[in-house]
Amino acid sequence: RTLRIGLIPGDGIGKEVIPAGRRILEALPASLGLKFEFVNLSAGFETFEQTGAALPDKTVAILKSECDGALFGAVSSPTHPVKGYSSPIVALRKKLDLYANVRPVKTVLGAAKAIDMVIVRENTEDLYVKEERTYETPEGKVAEAIKRISQRASSRIATIAGEIALRRQKIRAAGNPSIHKGPLVTITHKSNVLSQTDGLFRTTAREALADPRFSSVTVDEQIVDSMVYKLFRQPEAYDVIVAPNLYGDILSDGAAALVGSLGLVPSANVGEGFAIGEPCHGSAPDIMGQSIANPIATLRSAALMLEFLNEEEAAARIYAAVDANLSEGKLLSPDLGGTAKTEEVVADILRRL
């Protein structure tokens, strides 16, 4: 099988880590029967400055017509609002209907805490519909934004969360260590305040997870503020956390803090038969150009993309090579307290494939 993968480095360290993602895919053993073709695509703030569009139509068109998946690096958000600029990754998620943002957070074997969870974030609606307006009043400006929650999006995100919980359980049962007795999905919301919107998310998610095929899945819920508290107090207790877009955004950064560095945390933007791997970190202008960016979030994102393209064996190879590098702990990038350059980390992981 040949997979055609779009490469969208974006800005800052996106340009330093996306090449690493390409290399690990190319280095996968031939025995897996996978071939890759790559197509370079542009998006981001630099692209906006050059062309006036942060997400060129061409990028979207090629992803839609030619590609099986993609790797997206990171984009810079301008500090001051810039007229006409808006985040290309948010647009891409909506344009390709990549309805699930899947963010696994896991400590390596032997870490002080055995954290192994995945945050499944709804990726198309909530406040991210970006419908805003501003008006004048005698007391000054007032701005409003719409938070939109639909039964359809809530149902499909809860369904994929349930599927992921079952798949994780299968992998654990096949021999991986785990603290979880069985699959668990924790629905996160704030329906004590937002009874209609988050209430709809909550009820719909519960209904979707009541499907007989999820009968082995324990379904629980947490109010979002309390979820953040628990995330830090007892992260070992969670398996799959499903949340509306904004809470998912916040929770996944919080979970990343638990494992020591955003530089370790991958994500996949998942739609029907299409997935974009995307490291959770940003464009990190403070370290760009120094060749010290941690490539692991991107390598794991490449694996995660493969998982959702049904190439689980290839994905498992990458995860294992990364875990081996981390367990040994000799060649680590500065965010993990090491001194290795991006290139050295990549080389170490490639040789373990």
Ligand X SMILES: CC(C)[C@H](C(=O)O)[C@@H](O)C(=O)O
Label the pairing between strands 69-74 and 274-277.
parallel
Task: Give the separation between CA 3 and CA 341, rounded to whole angstroms.
Answer: 29
Interaction pattern, residues 180-219, with a second copy; x per rule: CB under 8 A: ----------xxxxxxxx-xx-------------------
Q: Which of residues 278-297 bind a second copy (CB under 8 A)?
A: 282
Which of a second copy, ligand X, none lies near 256, with the C-beta cut-off 5 to 8 A by kind? a second copy
**Which own/partner contact pairs does 174-182 have at CB distance under 8 Å and 24+ positions apart?**
177/109, 177/114, 178/114, 178/116, 179/114, 179/116, 179/236, 180/116, 180/239, 182/216, 182/217, 182/218
Q: Which is nearer to a second copy, 149 or 315 (CB)?
A: 149
Residue carrying the six token digits 């197509």 = 39
Which of ligand X, a second copy, none lies near 148, with the C-beta cut-off 5 to 8 A by kind? a second copy
Task: Give the separation between CA 102 and CA 161, rounded to whole angstroms.
Answer: 9
Q: Which of residues 213-232 bind ligand X (CB under 6 A)?
A: 225
Q: Which of residues 239-298 bind ligand X (CB under 6 A)?
A: 249
Pair of tokens at residue 130: 């970006």
Site membership for a second copy, residue 87 (CB under 8 A): yes
Interaction pattern, residues 116-145, with a second copy; x per rule: CB under 8 A: -----------xx-x-xxx--x-xxxxxxx
Strand partners, 274: 271
Label the pairing between strands 268-271 and 100-106.
antiparallel
**Residue type for position 59:** T
Site membership for ligand X, residue 109 (CB under 6 A): no
Question: Which positions touch ligand X (CB under 6 A)?
Answer: 77, 87, 89-90, 192-193, 225, 249
Question: Which positions touch a second copy (CB under 8 A)?
Answer: 77, 81, 86-87, 90, 127-128, 130, 132-134, 137, 139-152, 155, 190-197, 199-200, 223-226, 228-233, 246, 249-250, 252-254, 256-258, 262, 282
